[in-house]
A and B are shown apart, each in its own frame.
Chain A
Amino acid sequence: MNILLLLVWIIILFAVVMLHVAYATYFERKIIGHMQVRLGPMRVGWHGLLQPIADGVKSFFKEDIIPANADRPTFLAAPIICLVAMMTSLAVLPFAKGWVLADINIGLLFIFAMSSLSSYGVVLAGWASNSKFSFLGGLRSMAQVISYEIAMGLSLVGVMLLSGSLNLSEIVEAQGNSILGMYLIPQCIGFFVFFISMLAETNRVPFDLPEAETELVSGYCTEYSGMRYAIFFMAEYIGMMVMASIGTVCFLGGWNGPFAVPFFPPLWFVLKIYLFMFIFIWIRATLPRYRYDQLMDLGWKLLIPLALANIVLTACLKAMIG
Protein backbone atom coordinates (compact mmCIF):
# COMPACT_ATOMS: atom_id res chain seq x y z
CA MET A 1 0.00 0.00 0.00
CA ASN A 2 2.78 2.35 0.96
CA ILE A 3 4.66 1.56 -2.21
CA LEU A 4 1.51 2.16 -4.27
CA LEU A 5 1.01 5.56 -2.67
CA LEU A 6 4.64 6.43 -3.36
CA LEU A 7 4.20 5.40 -6.99
CA VAL A 8 1.18 7.65 -7.33
CA TRP A 9 3.21 10.54 -5.88
CA ILE A 10 6.04 9.84 -8.30
CA ILE A 11 3.68 9.82 -11.27
CA ILE A 12 2.07 13.08 -10.17
CA LEU A 13 5.48 14.72 -9.70
CA PHE A 14 6.62 13.43 -13.08
CA ALA A 15 3.53 14.77 -14.84
CA VAL A 16 3.72 18.17 -13.16
CA VAL A 17 7.40 18.55 -13.89
CA MET A 18 6.99 17.50 -17.52
CA LEU A 19 4.21 20.02 -17.98
CA HIS A 20 6.42 22.65 -16.42
CA VAL A 21 9.25 21.78 -18.74
CA ALA A 22 6.98 22.07 -21.75
CA TYR A 23 5.69 25.45 -20.68
CA ALA A 24 9.12 26.68 -19.61
CA THR A 25 10.09 26.55 -23.30
CA TYR A 26 6.95 28.54 -24.10
CA PHE A 27 7.74 31.16 -21.47
CA GLU A 28 11.30 31.37 -22.68
CA ARG A 29 10.23 32.04 -26.26
CA LYS A 30 7.53 34.47 -25.18
CA ILE A 31 9.75 36.45 -22.79
CA ILE A 32 12.68 36.64 -25.19
CA GLY A 33 10.24 37.61 -27.94
CA HIS A 34 8.86 40.50 -25.96
CA MET A 35 12.33 41.59 -24.84
CA GLN A 36 13.32 41.76 -28.51
CA VAL A 37 10.11 43.62 -29.41
CA ARG A 38 8.43 40.76 -31.26
CA LEU A 39 5.54 38.55 -30.26
CA GLY A 40 6.97 35.06 -29.89
CA PRO A 41 4.74 32.05 -30.69
CA MET A 42 1.23 33.23 -31.66
CA ARG A 43 -0.23 30.68 -34.10
CA VAL A 44 -1.06 27.49 -32.20
CA GLY A 45 -3.89 28.18 -29.77
CA TRP A 46 -4.64 31.48 -28.05
CA HIS A 47 -1.38 33.48 -27.99
CA GLY A 48 0.45 30.27 -28.93
CA LEU A 49 -0.52 28.48 -25.72
CA LEU A 50 -0.62 25.07 -27.39
CA GLN A 51 2.80 25.53 -29.03
CA PRO A 52 4.73 23.31 -26.54
CA ILE A 53 2.28 20.47 -27.08
CA ALA A 54 2.57 20.80 -30.84
CA ASP A 55 6.36 20.78 -30.50
CA GLY A 56 6.23 17.70 -28.30
CA VAL A 57 4.01 15.79 -30.75
CA LYS A 58 6.22 16.85 -33.64
CA SER A 59 9.47 15.70 -32.06
CA PHE A 60 7.84 12.47 -30.92
CA PHE A 61 6.92 11.49 -34.47
CA LYS A 62 10.15 12.63 -36.09
CA GLU A 63 12.60 10.10 -37.46
CA ASP A 64 15.32 9.09 -35.04
CA ILE A 65 18.51 9.30 -37.09
CA ILE A 66 21.62 7.49 -35.86
CA PRO A 67 24.86 8.38 -37.67
CA ALA A 68 26.45 5.40 -39.42
CA ASN A 69 29.78 5.64 -37.59
CA ALA A 70 28.36 6.48 -34.19
CA ASP A 71 29.07 4.29 -31.20
CA ARG A 72 25.56 2.89 -31.12
CA PRO A 73 24.94 1.81 -27.49
CA THR A 74 26.57 4.91 -26.04
CA PHE A 75 24.82 7.16 -28.54
CA LEU A 76 21.45 5.72 -27.55
CA ALA A 77 22.14 5.78 -23.82
CA ALA A 78 23.57 9.31 -23.53
CA PRO A 79 20.31 11.32 -23.55
CA ILE A 80 18.72 8.85 -21.18
CA ILE A 81 21.62 9.18 -18.70
CA CYS A 82 21.11 12.95 -18.82
CA LEU A 83 17.38 12.79 -18.20
CA VAL A 84 17.50 10.09 -15.52
CA ALA A 85 20.16 11.93 -13.53
CA MET A 86 18.16 15.16 -13.59
CA MET A 87 14.86 13.44 -12.79
CA THR A 88 16.37 11.58 -9.83
CA SER A 89 17.36 14.78 -8.10
CA LEU A 90 13.70 15.82 -8.08
CA ALA A 91 13.07 13.11 -5.49
CA VAL A 92 14.81 14.95 -2.66
CA LEU A 93 13.42 18.45 -3.28
CA PRO A 94 11.06 19.66 -0.52
CA PHE A 95 8.24 21.52 -2.27
CA ALA A 96 6.48 22.31 0.99
CA LYS A 97 6.53 21.09 4.57
CA GLY A 98 6.38 17.32 4.21
CA TRP A 99 5.96 17.46 0.42
CA VAL A 100 9.06 15.52 -0.44
CA LEU A 101 9.41 12.05 -1.94
CA ALA A 102 12.58 11.02 -0.12
CA ASP A 103 13.53 13.07 2.93
CA ILE A 104 17.12 11.84 3.13
CA ASN A 105 19.88 13.19 5.36
CA ILE A 106 22.30 13.91 2.55
CA GLY A 107 19.86 15.68 0.24
CA LEU A 108 22.28 18.37 -0.86
CA LEU A 109 25.11 15.92 -1.57
CA PHE A 110 22.69 13.69 -3.46
CA ILE A 111 21.85 16.55 -5.81
CA PHE A 112 25.56 17.21 -6.40
CA ALA A 113 26.12 13.55 -7.15
CA MET A 114 23.28 13.48 -9.66
CA SER A 115 24.30 16.69 -11.38
CA SER A 116 27.82 15.36 -11.82
CA LEU A 117 26.33 12.22 -13.35
CA SER A 118 24.32 14.21 -15.86
CA SER A 119 27.53 15.67 -17.27
CA TYR A 120 28.36 12.14 -18.39
CA GLY A 121 25.34 12.18 -20.66
CA VAL A 122 26.62 15.30 -22.41
CA VAL A 123 30.20 14.08 -22.68
CA LEU A 124 29.21 10.67 -23.99
CA ALA A 125 26.79 12.22 -26.48
CA GLY A 126 29.65 14.31 -27.78
CA TRP A 127 32.01 11.38 -28.05
CA ALA A 128 29.56 8.80 -29.40
CA SER A 129 28.27 11.02 -32.21
CA ASN A 130 31.64 10.74 -33.93
CA SER A 131 31.46 14.30 -35.18
CA LYS A 132 33.93 17.08 -34.52
CA PHE A 133 31.34 19.64 -33.48
CA SER A 134 29.75 17.25 -31.03
CA PHE A 135 33.10 16.17 -29.65
CA LEU A 136 34.27 19.72 -29.03
CA GLY A 137 30.95 20.53 -27.41
CA GLY A 138 31.27 17.50 -25.14
CA LEU A 139 34.83 18.36 -24.12
CA ARG A 140 33.92 21.95 -23.38
CA SER A 141 30.97 20.88 -21.30
CA MET A 142 33.08 18.44 -19.33
CA ALA A 143 35.77 20.99 -18.48
CA GLN A 144 33.15 23.59 -17.62
CA VAL A 145 31.10 21.33 -15.39
CA ILE A 146 34.13 20.03 -13.47
CA SER A 147 35.42 23.55 -12.83
CA TYR A 148 32.14 25.08 -11.79
CA GLU A 149 31.02 22.15 -9.68
CA ILE A 150 33.86 22.95 -7.27
CA ALA A 151 32.79 26.58 -6.99
CA MET A 152 29.17 25.57 -6.53
CA GLY A 153 29.90 22.96 -3.86
CA LEU A 154 32.09 25.40 -1.94
CA SER A 155 29.52 28.18 -2.17
CA LEU A 156 26.94 25.95 -0.49
CA VAL A 157 29.29 24.94 2.34
CA GLY A 158 28.44 28.26 4.01
CA VAL A 159 24.77 27.27 4.01
CA MET A 160 25.65 23.86 5.45
CA LEU A 161 27.69 25.56 8.19
CA LEU A 162 24.88 27.92 9.14
CA SER A 163 22.10 25.34 9.14
CA GLY A 164 24.21 22.47 10.47
CA SER A 165 22.52 19.98 8.19
CA LEU A 166 22.56 18.51 4.70
CA ASN A 167 18.88 17.69 4.76
CA LEU A 168 17.05 20.13 2.49
CA SER A 169 13.93 20.31 4.68
CA GLU A 170 16.06 21.07 7.74
CA ILE A 171 17.92 23.78 5.83
CA VAL A 172 14.57 25.44 5.08
CA GLU A 173 13.44 25.08 8.70
CA ALA A 174 16.71 26.59 9.93
CA GLN A 175 16.04 29.77 7.98
CA GLY A 176 12.84 30.42 9.90
CA ASN A 177 9.81 32.30 8.75
CA SER A 178 10.99 35.90 8.46
CA ILE A 179 12.72 37.59 5.56
CA LEU A 180 15.76 38.31 7.75
CA GLY A 181 16.24 34.61 8.35
CA MET A 182 16.92 33.91 4.69
CA TYR A 183 20.50 32.87 4.04
CA LEU A 184 20.54 35.31 1.14
CA ILE A 185 21.61 38.05 3.56
CA PRO A 186 24.34 36.39 5.68
CA GLN A 187 25.49 34.35 2.68
CA CYS A 188 25.46 37.06 0.01
CA ILE A 189 28.95 36.10 -1.22
CA GLY A 190 27.91 32.46 -1.32
CA PHE A 191 24.79 33.37 -3.26
CA PHE A 192 26.81 35.38 -5.77
CA VAL A 193 29.14 32.44 -6.41
CA PHE A 194 26.24 29.98 -6.44
CA PHE A 195 24.27 32.02 -8.94
CA ILE A 196 27.09 32.29 -11.45
CA SER A 197 28.07 28.65 -11.16
CA MET A 198 24.41 27.70 -11.44
CA LEU A 199 24.31 29.34 -14.88
CA ALA A 200 27.50 27.53 -15.86
CA GLU A 201 26.35 24.15 -14.55
CA THR A 202 23.16 24.26 -16.58
CA ASN A 203 25.08 25.40 -19.69
CA ARG A 204 22.99 28.52 -20.01
CA VAL A 205 23.92 31.84 -21.59
CA PRO A 206 26.40 33.50 -20.94
CA PHE A 207 28.18 30.18 -20.40
CA ASP A 208 26.54 28.11 -23.16
CA LEU A 209 29.85 27.30 -24.87
CA PRO A 210 29.05 23.56 -25.16
CA GLU A 211 26.24 24.36 -27.56
CA ALA A 212 27.43 27.67 -28.96
CA GLU A 213 25.52 27.72 -32.23
CA THR A 214 27.72 30.30 -33.89
CA GLU A 215 30.79 28.10 -33.64
CA LEU A 216 29.72 24.50 -32.96
CA VAL A 217 26.37 24.17 -34.84
CA SER A 218 24.65 22.95 -31.68
CA GLY A 219 27.48 21.30 -29.80
CA TYR A 220 27.01 17.89 -28.28
CA CYS A 221 23.49 17.40 -29.67
CA THR A 222 24.36 18.23 -33.28
CA GLU A 223 23.83 14.63 -34.44
CA TYR A 224 20.69 14.01 -32.44
CA SER A 225 17.22 14.26 -33.87
CA GLY A 226 13.60 13.68 -32.96
CA MET A 227 12.79 12.48 -29.48
CA ARG A 228 16.39 12.04 -28.38
CA TYR A 229 17.09 15.68 -29.09
CA ALA A 230 13.95 16.57 -27.14
CA ILE A 231 15.21 14.48 -24.21
CA PHE A 232 18.36 16.62 -24.03
CA PHE A 233 16.14 19.66 -24.05
CA MET A 234 14.00 18.28 -21.24
CA ALA A 235 17.09 17.40 -19.20
CA GLU A 236 18.38 20.95 -19.60
CA TYR A 237 15.13 22.47 -18.41
CA ILE A 238 14.75 20.06 -15.52
CA GLY A 239 18.34 20.93 -14.64
CA MET A 240 17.38 24.59 -14.58
CA MET A 241 14.44 23.76 -12.33
CA VAL A 242 16.57 21.70 -9.96
CA MET A 243 19.20 24.43 -9.72
CA ALA A 244 16.49 27.04 -9.14
CA SER A 245 15.07 24.82 -6.40
CA ILE A 246 18.45 24.50 -4.68
CA GLY A 247 18.80 28.27 -4.82
CA THR A 248 15.32 28.65 -3.35
CA VAL A 249 15.89 26.08 -0.62
CA CYS A 250 19.36 27.22 0.39
CA PHE A 251 19.14 30.99 0.03
CA LEU A 252 15.53 32.15 -0.30
CA GLY A 253 13.88 30.27 2.54
CA GLY A 254 12.18 27.49 0.56
CA TRP A 255 8.45 27.17 1.01
CA ASN A 256 8.20 29.92 3.66
CA GLY A 257 6.53 33.14 2.58
CA PRO A 258 4.93 36.27 4.03
CA PHE A 259 1.77 34.31 4.90
CA ALA A 260 0.76 30.64 4.78
CA VAL A 261 -1.38 29.59 1.83
CA PRO A 262 -4.18 27.28 2.99
CA PHE A 263 -4.88 24.96 0.04
CA PHE A 264 -1.61 25.02 -1.90
CA PRO A 265 1.37 25.05 0.51
CA PRO A 266 4.09 24.99 -2.19
CA LEU A 267 2.89 28.30 -3.68
CA TRP A 268 5.82 30.39 -2.40
CA PHE A 269 8.30 27.72 -3.45
CA VAL A 270 6.86 27.67 -6.96
CA LEU A 271 6.84 31.47 -7.19
CA LYS A 272 10.48 31.64 -6.14
CA ILE A 273 11.39 29.03 -8.75
CA TYR A 274 9.57 31.07 -11.39
CA LEU A 275 11.57 34.11 -10.33
CA PHE A 276 14.79 32.17 -10.86
CA MET A 277 13.58 30.86 -14.22
CA PHE A 278 12.67 34.37 -15.30
CA ILE A 279 16.15 35.59 -14.39
CA PHE A 280 17.65 32.69 -16.35
CA ILE A 281 15.70 33.78 -19.42
CA TRP A 282 16.31 37.46 -18.83
CA ILE A 283 20.06 36.85 -18.74
CA ARG A 284 19.80 34.85 -21.95
CA ALA A 285 18.08 37.74 -23.67
CA THR A 286 20.59 40.28 -22.37
CA LEU A 287 24.14 39.00 -22.15
CA PRO A 288 26.59 37.92 -24.86
CA ARG A 289 28.54 34.68 -24.56
CA TYR A 290 31.82 34.45 -22.64
CA ARG A 291 35.02 33.46 -24.38
CA TYR A 292 36.35 30.09 -23.26
CA ASP A 293 39.49 31.33 -21.48
CA GLN A 294 37.43 34.03 -19.76
CA LEU A 295 35.06 31.33 -18.54
CA MET A 296 37.92 29.32 -17.04
CA ASP A 297 39.55 32.42 -15.53
CA LEU A 298 36.29 33.43 -13.90
CA GLY A 299 35.74 29.99 -12.43
CA TRP A 300 39.19 29.23 -11.11
CA LYS A 301 40.61 32.65 -10.31
CA LEU A 302 37.56 34.46 -9.00
CA LEU A 303 34.74 32.16 -7.92
CA ILE A 304 36.70 29.39 -6.17
CA PRO A 305 38.89 31.74 -4.05
CA LEU A 306 35.80 33.81 -3.26
CA ALA A 307 33.88 30.74 -2.16
CA LEU A 308 36.80 29.58 0.00
CA ALA A 309 37.03 33.01 1.62
CA ASN A 310 33.31 32.83 2.28
CA ILE A 311 33.71 29.49 4.07
CA VAL A 312 36.47 30.83 6.32
CA LEU A 313 34.48 33.99 7.05
CA THR A 314 31.27 32.09 7.83
CA ALA A 315 33.06 29.59 10.07
CA CYS A 316 34.84 32.37 11.99
CA LEU A 317 31.62 34.34 12.45
CA LYS A 318 29.74 31.26 13.56
CA ALA A 319 32.48 30.34 16.04
CA MET A 320 32.47 33.88 17.46
CA ILE A 321 28.70 34.37 17.70
CA GLY A 322 27.49 31.02 18.85
Chain B
Amino acid sequence: MFIQIFFGYCALMITLSGILAISLRNPVHCVLMVLVLFFHMAGLYLTLNAEFLAAVQIIVYAGAILVLYLFVLFLVSLREELHLDAFIANPWIGRVIAGGLAAALLYVIPAFTLGEKGVWSVEAIKQVTHTKALGQEMYSTYLLPFEIGGLILLVALIGGLALARRDEGATEANAADEATTPLPAQSDHKEAAQ
Protein backbone atom coordinates (compact mmCIF):
# COMPACT_ATOMS: atom_id res chain seq x y z
CA MET B 1 0.00 0.00 0.00
CA PHE B 2 2.72 2.45 1.03
CA ILE B 3 4.79 1.48 -2.00
CA GLN B 4 1.85 2.23 -4.29
CA ILE B 5 1.25 5.66 -2.77
CA PHE B 6 4.97 6.38 -3.03
CA PHE B 7 5.02 5.28 -6.66
CA GLY B 8 2.01 7.46 -7.43
CA TYR B 9 3.66 10.46 -5.78
CA CYS B 10 6.92 9.93 -7.66
CA ALA B 11 5.15 9.45 -10.99
CA LEU B 12 3.07 12.59 -10.43
CA MET B 13 6.11 14.65 -9.48
CA ILE B 14 8.11 13.36 -12.45
CA THR B 15 5.39 14.40 -14.90
CA LEU B 16 4.83 17.74 -13.17
CA SER B 17 8.49 18.69 -12.94
CA GLY B 18 9.04 17.46 -16.50
CA ILE B 19 6.30 19.76 -17.78
CA LEU B 20 7.60 22.66 -15.67
CA ALA B 21 11.14 22.05 -16.92
CA ILE B 22 10.12 22.78 -20.49
CA SER B 23 7.60 25.53 -19.74
CA LEU B 24 9.31 27.80 -17.19
CA ARG B 25 10.80 31.00 -18.57
CA ASN B 26 14.04 31.11 -16.58
CA PRO B 27 16.56 28.45 -17.74
CA VAL B 28 18.05 28.11 -14.25
CA HIS B 29 14.61 27.31 -12.83
CA CYS B 30 14.20 24.73 -15.60
CA VAL B 31 17.44 23.05 -14.54
CA LEU B 32 16.19 23.01 -10.95
CA MET B 33 13.02 21.30 -12.09
CA VAL B 34 15.13 18.66 -13.83
CA LEU B 35 16.94 18.23 -10.51
CA VAL B 36 13.60 17.55 -8.78
CA LEU B 37 12.79 15.10 -11.58
CA PHE B 38 16.06 13.21 -11.07
CA PHE B 39 15.39 12.91 -7.37
CA HIS B 40 12.00 11.36 -7.93
CA MET B 41 13.46 8.98 -10.50
CA ALA B 42 15.91 7.88 -7.83
CA GLY B 43 12.88 7.37 -5.58
CA LEU B 44 11.32 5.12 -8.22
CA TYR B 45 14.49 3.03 -8.36
CA LEU B 46 14.28 2.64 -4.61
CA THR B 47 10.80 1.13 -4.87
CA LEU B 48 12.39 -1.51 -7.12
CA ASN B 49 15.11 -2.28 -4.55
CA ALA B 50 17.71 -0.85 -6.92
CA GLU B 51 19.45 1.28 -4.33
CA PHE B 52 22.79 1.37 -6.12
CA LEU B 53 21.13 2.71 -9.25
CA ALA B 54 19.31 5.33 -7.17
CA ALA B 55 22.54 6.55 -5.58
CA VAL B 56 24.36 6.63 -8.91
CA GLN B 57 21.45 8.48 -10.48
CA ILE B 58 21.87 11.27 -7.94
CA ILE B 59 25.67 11.29 -7.85
CA VAL B 60 26.17 11.24 -11.61
CA TYR B 61 23.14 13.00 -13.02
CA ALA B 62 22.27 15.46 -10.27
CA GLY B 63 25.77 15.87 -8.88
CA ALA B 64 27.82 16.12 -12.04
CA ILE B 65 25.93 16.42 -15.32
CA LEU B 66 23.32 18.89 -14.16
CA VAL B 67 25.97 21.00 -12.46
CA LEU B 68 27.79 21.20 -15.79
CA TYR B 69 24.53 22.33 -17.42
CA LEU B 70 24.27 25.05 -14.78
CA PHE B 71 27.84 26.04 -15.53
CA VAL B 72 27.03 26.46 -19.23
CA LEU B 73 23.89 28.44 -18.40
CA PHE B 74 25.84 30.77 -16.13
CA LEU B 75 28.46 31.44 -18.76
CA VAL B 76 25.87 32.34 -21.39
CA SER B 77 24.33 35.74 -20.92
CA LEU B 78 20.76 35.03 -19.91
CA ARG B 79 19.57 38.61 -20.25
CA GLU B 80 19.77 38.55 -24.01
CA GLU B 81 17.56 35.54 -24.13
CA LEU B 82 17.75 33.43 -27.25
CA HIS B 83 14.72 33.75 -29.49
CA LEU B 84 14.23 31.08 -32.07
CA ASP B 85 11.74 31.38 -34.89
CA ALA B 86 9.08 28.73 -34.61
CA PHE B 87 9.66 25.80 -36.93
CA ILE B 88 5.98 25.71 -37.86
CA ALA B 89 4.11 28.98 -37.75
CA ASN B 90 0.79 27.72 -36.46
CA PRO B 91 1.08 26.22 -32.95
CA TRP B 92 -2.04 24.14 -33.46
CA ILE B 93 -0.33 21.96 -36.06
CA GLY B 94 2.33 21.10 -33.48
CA ARG B 95 -0.31 20.37 -30.85
CA VAL B 96 -2.20 18.06 -33.19
CA ILE B 97 0.99 16.17 -34.04
CA ALA B 98 1.90 15.84 -30.35
CA GLY B 99 -1.63 14.68 -29.50
CA GLY B 100 -1.53 12.14 -32.31
CA LEU B 101 1.81 10.81 -31.11
CA ALA B 102 0.45 10.46 -27.57
CA ALA B 103 -2.65 8.64 -28.88
CA ALA B 104 -0.48 6.26 -30.91
CA LEU B 105 1.67 5.50 -27.87
CA LEU B 106 -1.40 4.88 -25.72
CA TYR B 107 -2.84 2.64 -28.46
CA VAL B 108 0.15 0.27 -28.40
CA ILE B 109 0.24 -0.07 -24.61
CA PRO B 110 -2.07 -3.16 -24.53
CA ALA B 111 0.41 -4.97 -26.79
CA PHE B 112 2.99 -4.79 -23.98
CA THR B 113 3.74 -8.18 -22.44
CA LEU B 114 5.95 -8.89 -19.48
CA GLY B 115 9.18 -10.64 -20.34
CA GLU B 116 10.41 -13.83 -18.70
CA LYS B 117 11.50 -13.54 -15.10
CA GLY B 118 15.28 -13.65 -14.71
CA VAL B 119 17.40 -15.14 -11.95
CA TRP B 120 17.36 -11.94 -9.93
CA SER B 121 13.97 -11.72 -8.31
CA VAL B 122 13.29 -9.05 -5.69
CA GLU B 123 14.00 -11.54 -2.91
CA ALA B 124 17.27 -12.71 -4.45
CA ILE B 125 18.46 -9.13 -4.79
CA LYS B 126 17.45 -8.38 -1.22
CA GLN B 127 19.63 -11.26 -0.04
CA VAL B 128 22.88 -10.36 -1.76
CA THR B 129 22.22 -6.58 -1.89
CA HIS B 130 21.74 -4.75 -5.14
CA THR B 131 25.30 -3.45 -5.44
CA LYS B 132 26.78 -6.93 -5.30
CA ALA B 133 24.22 -8.40 -7.71
CA LEU B 134 24.82 -5.61 -10.22
CA GLY B 135 28.59 -5.91 -9.95
CA GLN B 136 28.56 -9.67 -10.38
CA GLU B 137 26.33 -9.56 -13.42
CA MET B 138 28.20 -6.69 -15.00
CA TYR B 139 31.65 -8.22 -14.64
CA SER B 140 30.69 -11.78 -15.60
CA THR B 141 27.62 -12.12 -17.83
CA TYR B 142 27.82 -8.69 -19.43
CA LEU B 143 31.58 -8.22 -19.41
CA LEU B 144 31.92 -7.71 -23.17
CA PRO B 145 29.18 -5.04 -23.52
CA PHE B 146 30.61 -3.33 -20.45
CA GLU B 147 34.10 -3.22 -21.96
CA ILE B 148 32.73 -2.00 -25.29
CA GLY B 149 30.87 0.76 -23.48
CA GLY B 150 34.07 1.69 -21.68
CA LEU B 151 35.97 1.81 -24.96
CA ILE B 152 33.37 4.08 -26.56
CA LEU B 153 33.59 6.45 -23.62
CA LEU B 154 37.38 6.44 -23.87
CA VAL B 155 37.17 7.33 -27.57
CA ALA B 156 34.81 10.20 -26.72
CA LEU B 157 37.18 11.36 -24.00
CA ILE B 158 40.19 11.37 -26.31
CA GLY B 159 38.12 13.11 -28.98
CA GLY B 160 37.14 15.78 -26.47
CA LEU B 161 40.77 16.26 -25.52
CA ALA B 162 41.83 16.51 -29.15
CA LEU B 163 39.16 19.12 -29.82
CA ALA B 164 39.94 21.16 -26.73
CA ARG B 165 43.67 21.11 -27.25
CA ARG B 166 44.49 23.63 -29.97
CA ASP B 167 47.45 23.06 -32.25
CA GLU B 168 50.52 25.07 -31.39
CA GLY B 169 50.78 26.27 -34.97
CA ALA B 170 47.11 27.12 -35.47
CA THR B 171 46.47 30.32 -37.35
CA GLU B 172 45.15 33.26 -35.36
CA ALA B 173 42.07 33.53 -37.54
CA ASN B 174 41.21 29.95 -36.70
CA ALA B 175 41.62 30.58 -32.98
CA ALA B 176 39.46 33.69 -33.15
CA ASP B 177 36.83 31.77 -35.06
CA GLU B 178 36.67 29.11 -32.37
CA ALA B 179 36.39 31.66 -29.61
CA THR B 180 33.49 33.69 -30.99
CA THR B 181 30.73 32.18 -28.89
CA PRO B 182 32.19 32.19 -25.40
CA LEU B 183 33.96 35.53 -25.82
CA PRO B 184 31.24 37.94 -24.64
CA ALA B 185 30.60 35.91 -21.51
CA GLN B 186 34.31 35.73 -20.74
CA SER B 187 34.79 39.45 -21.02
CA ASP B 188 31.79 39.88 -18.71
CA HIS B 189 33.52 37.81 -16.08
CA LYS B 190 36.78 39.62 -16.44
CA GLU B 191 34.93 42.84 -15.73
CA ALA B 192 33.28 41.25 -12.75
CA ALA B 193 36.58 40.01 -11.41
CA GLN B 194 38.02 43.50 -11.57
Interface residues in chain A, defined as those with a beta carbon under 8 Å from any beta carbon in chain B: 71, 74, 104-106, 109-110, 112-113, 116-117, 119-120, 123-124, 127, 132, 135-136, 139, 142-143, 146, 149, 153, 166
Minimum CB–CB distance for B24 against chain A, Å:
11
Residues of A within 8 A of B68 (CB): 146
Residues of A within 8 A of B28 (CB): 71, 74, 124, 127
B20 at the interface (CB under 8 A from A): no
The DSSP consensus for interface residues of chain A is: helix
Interface residues in chain B, defined as those with a beta carbon under 8 Å from any beta carbon in chain A: 26, 28-29, 32, 35, 51-52, 54-56, 58-59, 62-64, 67-68, 70-71, 74, 129-131, 189, 192-193
Residues of A within 8 A of B193 (CB): 136
State the CA gap A276–B165 with chains docked (Å). 41
Minimum CB–CB distance for A157 against chain B, Å:
12
With A116-B63, A117-B58, A135-B192 in contact, is A105–B70 under 8 Å at CB?
A: no
15 further contact pairs, Cβ within 8 A, besides A105-B130, A136-B193, A166-B131: A104-B51, A105-B51, A106-B54, A106-B55, A113-B62, A116-B58, A116-B62, A119-B63, A119-B67, A124-B28, A132-B192, A139-B74, A142-B70, A146-B67, A149-B64
With A142-B70, A149-B63 in contact, is A113–B192 under 8 Å at CB?
A: no
Q: B78's closest neighbor in chain A, by CB?
A: A127
State the CA gap A229–B21 with chains docked (Å). 29
Q: Are A120's CB and B35's CB within 8 A?
A: yes
Contact partner, A116, options B26, B64, B192, Cβ 8 Å: B64
Q: Are B63's CB and A117's CB within 8 A?
A: yes
Q: Are B52's CB and A109's CB within 8 A?
A: yes
Q: Are B26's CB and A71's CB within 8 A?
A: yes
With A106-B52, A109-B52, A120-B35 in contact, is A139–B71 under 8 Å at CB?
A: yes
Residues of A within 8 A of B59 (CB): 109, 112-113, 116, 153
Residues of A within 8 A of B62 (CB): 113, 116-117
Contact partner, B29, options A74, A104, A105, A113, Cβ 8 Å: A74
With A136-B192, A136-B193, A166-B131 in contact, is A109–B56 under 8 Å at CB?
A: yes
Minimum CB–CB distance for A133 against chain B, Å:
8
Contact partner, A105, options B35, B56, B131, B189, Cβ 8 Å: B131
Residues of A within 8 A of B70 (CB): 123, 127, 142
Q: Are B63's CB and A106's CB within 8 A?
A: no
Question: What are 25 A-B residue pairs whose CB atoms fall within 8 Å in the complex?
Answer: A71-B28, A74-B28, A104-B51, A105-B129, A105-B131, A109-B59, A113-B55, A113-B58, A113-B62, A116-B58, A116-B59, A116-B62, A116-B64, A116-B67, A119-B63, A120-B35, A120-B67, A123-B70, A124-B32, A135-B74, A136-B189, A142-B70, A146-B64, A146-B68, A149-B64
State the CA gap A106–B130 with chains docked (Å). 9
Which of B32, B52, B55, B62 is the most central at the interface, judged by chain A CB atoms within 10 Å of its CB? Answer: B55
State the CA gap A119–B68 with chains docked (Å). 12
State the CA gap A110–B64 with chains docked (Å). 15
State the CA gap A119–B26 with chains docked (Å). 20
State the CA gap A212–B104 with chains docked (Å). 57
State the CA gap A113–B130 with chains docked (Å). 17
Residues of B within 8 A of A123 (CB): 67, 70
Q: B193's closest neighbor in chain A, by CB?
A: A136
Q: Are B32's CB and A74's CB within 8 A?
A: yes
Minimum CB–CB distance for B186 against chain A, Å:
12
Minimum CB–CB distance for A123 against chain B, Å:
6
Q: Are A113's CB and B63's CB within 8 A?
A: yes
State the CA gap A136–B188 with chains docked (Å). 11
State the CA gap A119–B58 with chains docked (Å). 13
Residues of B within 8 A of A132 (CB): 192
Q: A160's closest neighbor in chain B, by CB?
A: B131
State the CA gap A105–B32 with chains docked (Å). 28
State the CA gap A124–B192 with chains docked (Å). 18
State the CA gap A104–B52 with chains docked (Å). 11
Minimum CB–CB distance for B82 against chain A, Å:
18
Task: Give the 7 A-B CB pairs with smallest separation, nearest first.
Answer: A116-B63, A109-B55, A113-B58, A132-B192, A105-B129, A106-B55, A106-B51
Q: Are B67's CB and A142's CB within 8 A?
A: yes
Q: Are B55's CB and A110's CB within 8 A?
A: yes
Minimum CB–CB distance for B160 against chain A, Å:
14
State the CA gap A166–B134 with chains docked (Å). 14
Q: A138's closest neighbor in chain B, by CB?
A: B74
Q: A110's closest neighbor in chain B, by CB?
A: B55
State the CA gap A104–B49 with chains docked (Å). 12
Q: B56's closest neighbor in chain A, by CB?
A: A109
Residues of B within 8 A of A149 (CB): 63-64
